[in-house]
Amino acid sequence: MWTEARIKELVERQRRFFRSGKTLDLDWRLEQLRRLKSAVLAREREIEAALAADLGRAPMEAYFCDVGPVVMEINEAIHGLRRWAKPETRFSGLACFPSTVTKVYKQPYGVSLIISPFNFPFYLSLAVLAAAIAGGNTAVIKASSKSAHSTELLKKLIADTFPEDFAALVDGGHEVAELCLAQRFDKIFYTGSPRVGVRVMEAAAKHLTPVTLELGGENGNWAIVRKDADLRDAARKIVFFKLLNAGQICINVNQVAVAEEAAEPFLAALREELLRQIGADPLHNPEYPCLITEAAWERCAAEAERYRDRILCGGAGEKESRKYAPTLIYPVRIDEPLVRHELFAPLLPVVPFKDAEIDALLETVAEREHGLALYVFTRDLNWARKVMSTQQYGGGCVNEVCLHLMAKGAPFGGVGHSGMGSYHGEWGFREFTHPATVLYGRTRFNLSLREHPYTGKGAELKMKLLRLFER
């Protein structure tokens, strides 16, 4: 049982361990990353079983979404760490003459708190842990109580791999999370909802602790299908993504906007793809995931019931198994409540728009809170480039879904209500380190430009040189 005193003592122990300087050694960090990778691979079957118990995941989906991405993240850190951590040398500029050499050192923050969610319990805790380790930090992980089987396995995995002084997992509900947030950490990394993200920032502000937030976004993520899009390809990819983890993904397609001119064939393609990919009876397909809790199932069912008269397919579920069928809802107006919040469920509202009025659609999307992802489907790549370079969102794809999350060497993060900060690869290392600038001064040939007196003999020359150097 985690108490305030026990958590405080854990944080203090980790702070003492960090101050010992052991985590500063790059060879030591690399060894911990290798240990973490070995621990994940050794428990692959156990991870599959835990994800099946919590979320009804099939083994392949478990590997694709949790095991494989963690291994990728660790491998990237192992291969890149020495390069990332190398101090950078900069020319100081003439204003600093004769001290022309400046170094930028990548310093770890210290003791970090990682708060992870239920939907990808291994990936969204261990991939963040890998970034924290690469940066030279210790870590306390607060895992979700909703994914109980996964959290229990994570607790064993961490305990068997690392001493508590370096990395530890804290389990429990919201009250335990509050106990963690009451402590003074040096870095907090939270993945979850905007509502809780606000609470995390409030707690961090008391200690002026830097925070990274990876949030789902208040209004959900849009997929926009133009009339010139490859409709079958778009439907295939959107259906795949909506089935994945039963829609419980922060970057999932929350709603689709489709050009009226292409709506009927697109909807037909969606129905065909649902049948092809998950079958006529998804509720009894062992590969189809379930919702995380009974309360989540009830919210999904109630949301669908409010739009019962517009359900094209799906709209049924089994409370006992917590499964709810993938459900197409059409037509939905852009101002309706269903497309004004994140669904986190296998419901797919489809909003028709006139293709000639695409700018008005984009304006409405831009007026709402920024999504974590944006997906556009079109053959007009010039238009797509313009949209993706001018809209505000976390990340996204053109004629694809979700794979930007797995792009090596690229950052992943949100903006506004979908988060702040980025990670993955070197960006994760940066998120867990502070770039400290150090100028190396010279003791000879120093100029007196900055020194008093500022008037009298030589003042005019000083000013001319300052104007020359500071430009």
List the domains of the chain with CATH numbers: 4-85+101-217+420-433 (3.40.605.10), 221-368+373-413 (3.40.309.10)
Can you tell me the mean pLDDT for 114-124? 98
Contacts of 395 (CB under 8 A, 6+ apart): 251, 372, 373, 374, 404, 405, 411, 412, 413
Cα–Cα distances in angstroms (integers) from residue 150 to residues 158, 357, 365, 368, 465, in the given order:
12, 46, 36, 35, 65
Average pLDDT over residues 297-316: 97
* Amino acid code (one letter) for 257: A
Of 61, 73, 76, 214, which is the active-site residue?
Answer: 214
Q: Summarize the confidence of residues 295-305 as an average pLDDT.
A: 98
Residue carrying the six token digits 């709810």: 324
Phi, psi torsion values for 351, nearest 5 degrees: -105, 120
290 catalytic residue (yes or no): no
- Arithmetic mean of pLDDT, 183-187: 98
pLDDT at residue 217, as a whole number:
83
Q: Mean pLDDT, the chain, as a whole number?
A: 96
Residue 465 reports pLDDT greater than 90: no
Q: Is the pLDDT of residue 237 over 90?
A: yes
- CA gap 294, 434 in Å, rounded: 42
Structure confidence at residue 218 as a pLDDT band (50, 70, 90): confident
Mean pLDDT score, 125-141: 98
Model pLDDT, residue 261: 97
∠ CA 202-184-207 to the nearest 5 degrees?
Answer: 45
User: pTM value?
Assistant: 0.96
Answer yes or no: is pLDDT of 459 > 90. Answer: no
Radius of gyration of the chain (CA): 26
Tokens of 289: 């995931």
Residue 21 has pLDDT above 90, yes or no: yes
pLDDT range class, residue 67, cuts 50, 70, 90: very high
Is-catalytic flag, 320? no
In what order do the strands lie in the sheet containing 395-398? 311-313, 327-329, 347-353, 253-259, 221-225, 373-377, 395-398
pLDDT value at residue 382: 98
- In our burial notation (b when 16+ CB lie closer than 10 A, e otherwise), range 339-378 reads beebbbbbbbbbbbbebeebeebbebbeebbbbbbbbbbb
Range 458-469 average pLDDT: 87
65, 180, 250, 300: the catalytic one is: 250
> Tens digits of per-residue pLDDT, 395-444?
999 999 999 999 998 999 999 999 999 999 999 999 999 999 999 999 99
CA dist list (Å): 171 to 29, 46, 148, 155: 25, 18, 9, 8
The phi-psi region of residue 246 (left if phi > 0; otherwise alpha if psi is between -120 and 50; otherwise beta) is left
